[in-house]
Amino acid sequence: EAARDPETNQPLSERQKRLFKVAKLHAAYWLGLASLEQGDFAAAAKHFKKRVLEANPDSPWTHGARSNLARVY
C-alpha cells in the first residue's frame, strides 16, 4: 500500500517521499548524537550504522556518522 499524507489521506508525491527520507536521515543522525551523549552506546551505534550509513552511505552525514560510530566503540 502506498504511503499516505496523514492530513489529506492522499498518496504522497515523489517530492514528499524524498523530503521524508531526508528528514528521517537527519533525525537518525541527531538521535545517534543524543544517544551517544547520554551514554546509550547501543542505540547510538544502531542510529549511526543502520539508519545513517547503511540506509544512505553517500549522505552529508556519512563522515560524521563514521566518526561518531568510532567514538561509540
Listed in sequence order, the residues at least 6 apart from 15 whose beta carbon sits closer than 8 Å to its beta carbon are none
On the question of pLDDT at 1 being above 90, the answer is no
Q: How far is CA 50 from the centre of its chain?
A: 8
- Position 67, amino acid: S
Measured in degrees and rounded to the nearest 5, phi and psi for residue 49 equal -75, -55
pLDDT digits (tens, 9 = 90+) for 9-56: 888 888 988 999 999 999 999 999 999 999 999 999 999 999 999 999
Give the model confidence (pLDDT) of 57-66 as tens digits: 999 999 999 9
How confident is the model at residue 23, as a pLDDT? Answer: 96
Backbone angles phi, psi at 4, to 5 degrees: -125, 150
